[in-house]
């Protein structure tokens, strides 16, 4: 292989790497945006509940806020710059039927886990993977807690 072809091949591989990093950063922004929305949602939902249920949902909201911060930190570590500001959507009114809310959120939490697995498998750095594993574990626990709440309120 002549020198020209070696440089072209290296440039092509570098471009693919840049494209993969750009896609990864877009996925991280999307994840942080979803976590910010989830924080607001669970905070509002917790205000409709009482006792241990309120505390459970409030703790989920706190976890979601932690996840947003972790995604912002991950973005910074990969891109070496701050993540762009997250646009917040207009707040939708909460549905009245609590079992329906819990059921929808169980599916949302599981969908998040699937999306985060894509980020996880894109990462090579083990420290970054550990962050994603923590987030995915939390999301799995949220789905379990929401399942318990669904069963309790569905009666």
Full residue range of the structural domain in which residue 119 is found: 26-154
The predicted model scores a pTM of 0.87
Q: What 3-state class would DSSP assign to 117? A: helix
Give the total number of structural domains in the chain: 1
- What is d(CA 113, CA 97) in angstroms, rounded to the nearest whole number? 25
Which residues fall within 8 angstroms of residue 136, CB to CB, at 6 or more apart?
Answer: 113, 116, 117, 120
CATH number for the domain harbouring residue 98: 1.20.1260.10
Q: 132: closest CA among 38, 62, 35, 67?
A: 67
Compute the residue count for the chain: 155
- What is d(CA 83, CA 35) in angstroms, rounded to the nearest whole number? 14
Residue 15 falls inside a structural domain: no
Query: Going residue by residue through the chain (155 aa), what tens digit of pLDDT does each one get?
Result: 555 554 454 444 444 377 789 999 999 999 999 999 999 999 999 999 999 999 999 999 999 999 999 999 999 999 999 999 987 767 778 899 999 999 999 999 999 999 999 999 999 899 999 999 999 999 999 999 999 999 999 98
Residue 98 falls inside a structural domain: yes
Residue 97 falls inside a structural domain: yes
Residue 2 falls inside a structural domain: no
- What is d(CA 71, CA 68) in angstroms, rounded to the nearest whole number? 5
Residue 64 falls inside a structural domain: yes
């Amino acid at each position: 292989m002549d020198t020209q072809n070696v440089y072209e091949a290296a440039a092509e591989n570098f471009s693919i790497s840049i494209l993969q990093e750009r896609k990864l950063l877009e996925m991280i922004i999307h994840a942080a945006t979803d976590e910010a929305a989830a924080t607001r949602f669970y905070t509002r939902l917790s205000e409709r509940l009482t006792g241990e249920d309120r505390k459970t949902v409030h703790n989920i909201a706190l976890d979601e806020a932690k996840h947003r911060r972790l995604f912002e930190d991950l973005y910074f570590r990969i891109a070496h710059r701050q993540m762009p500001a997250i646009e917040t959507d207009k707040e939708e009114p909460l549905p009245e039927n609590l079992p329906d809310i819990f059921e929808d959120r169980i599916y949302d939490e599981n969908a998040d886990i699937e999306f985060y697995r894509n980020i996880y498998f894109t990462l090579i750095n083990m420290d970054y993977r550990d962050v994603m594993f923590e987030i995915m574990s939390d999301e799995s626990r949220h789905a379990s807690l929401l399942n318990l709440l669904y069963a309790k309120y569905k009666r």
